[in-house]
Structure 1
Amino acid sequence: MARCLVTGHCGYIGSEVYRQLKEAGHDVMGIDLVEGFDILDELRPNSSGVFKSRWASFRPEYIFHLAAIPRVAYSVENPIEVIENNVLSSLYVMEFARAMNTKRVIYSSSSSVRGNGLGPESPYAASKLMPESMCGVWSRLYGVDTVCLRYFNVYSPDQKASGPYATAVANWMQHIRDGKDPFITGTGEQRRDMSHKLDVVSANIFCMTREENFDGAFFDVGTGTNISLNELRDIVLKHFPEVRFKYVAPRSGDVMLTKADMSMAMEFGWLPSYNIAQGLEECFMRLKSELGDVNE
């Protein structure tokens, strides 16, 4: 069994990574800002933070770095905070991994680093791309094996609309629960590849168990297909024909199309278990069942 450190272990994805590692019998530690421990304080150079000494004695073999400020819209309004947090926390994690002779760092990146094909379109995207470069450098220069996972619009039936990772799926589900009209930003023709949360967790754990080094490589965690918001709307209407959607102005920093390139994931030996249609059906069928139970 392995010694694993999960940053952001109380979050939407991190909590499931943490749970599955524990369930598999691994020795797992976590750090999360919601528990009052900030990586920027705990791992900065010359820090005497509580966790730094604990981690040093724990000597993690694998670090799952999921902690981040993840919101595109928030980053547009607060670029310095988001870039400082996401880049520096990643730097401190990489340096800690080097000091501890950690076997591998598994970095949670984002499909947003591509933008519309010309690079990042938001401060958040820029803040996720910079650590990808650092992962490559730390692998080549210092021998810390790293891999970067680019997630595509992570969703699941249990995603909270109030959470920072909330997708249109989670927001629409909550609007339907509340008896409100869901909204679509822009024309609804923007297309998204989507990653089921359990597939994202599967990719993380796969990266821990793979014997060969990744050497700073990245791969997309999606399906290789996509769906427009209007097509997603039609799936909702199949289950909730009474729902009325409204269209609102597009958000700054959003991109028109995302679609995972699954070739590198396939080369490494990982594939998703969920396709988009299957995952979305699961979400809205569960919501329908939930509301049926409430109304009985």
Structure 2
Amino acid sequence: MQPITTAYGVIEATGRQELYASGALLSCRPGVACALETPLGKLIPQHTTDDLRKKEVQPVVFHESGRLKSLPLETQTIVSTPAGDIPAEMLTFHPDGSLSRVFPLNGKLSGYWGQDDEAGLAAPLTLLTPVGVLTAMVIGVGFHPSGAMRSLTLWPGHTVSIPTPAGVIETRMGVAFLPNGTIRSVEPARFTPVETPAGEIAAFDPDAVGVNGDTNSLVFHRDGSVARIATILTRLTVAAPDGRTALFTPKERESLCGDTEREMVPMVVEFTPEAVTVRVDPDTPATRIPRAGHAFFSAPWLPRLANPFGQLRCSI
């Protein structure tokens, strides 16, 4: 083993260490227990493995400045955050050294240990958020460098009710906040009517992927107006100054469930003070329409009402 002196204490490292081009330490793997003095108190990095959840020792990673970037912990440890005390198995930090994200669990998914196994270890957390006290099943909690909450990432299948500028929305996957505490974005758990500059649009993105709660399909500007929305149940008609009209609707594609199945592709509409941008297909360019001189109208789009189950996604 090789002793490595860091700003937080000495790490008895095993294996090869990674370095930046400058020669600064990028990462190393502890071989024995060592207590590091961090901004969150004395913490012990992961240095052992097991047969199921943690088959290898994950490295302690540093910013080039020498400050911590990510710290996997040997055992779940309670850490004090602006949102309250949170049990943690993994911590990440901003370049300035402030806390970036807390993960209550940090098991490695494999053929022997799946998402359901990991979720079985999760427990609801009660947190102080910009919208009040929430109790939720949380994968991770993100923070801005100021300490204000940046996001919550929820476990699949779990939802929370979030008061947003568009009303209270049942939210899945995640919710994100601006540094001043206002709502940045949410992922609606079901079809939700939302008022936009183009009229009422039924917000829902069946393609949403809950990697983290920082990015969601229903996004708001700082003033609370809708900045971005995804839908499969609303069409948009645009009337030009010369009287011509254009119709935008969600499209269909072949489903992953089988060659004969079809499913809807979410249409994404973005709003700025100057324009409305519509993307009906992620593989084609978006259409930008100046708001000045154009009129926008929304209406329900139910092309598959006769076979609504055709819109359901298969599990893969």
TM over 0.5: no
Higher alpha-carbon Rg? 2
For normalisation by structure 1, the TM-score amounts to: 0.28
> 1 or 2 for the larger relative contact order (CA 8 Å, sep ≥6)?
1
| Structure with more of its chain in strand, by fraction | 2
Q: TM-score, normalised by structure 2?
A: 0.27
Q: Which has the higher helix share?
A: 1
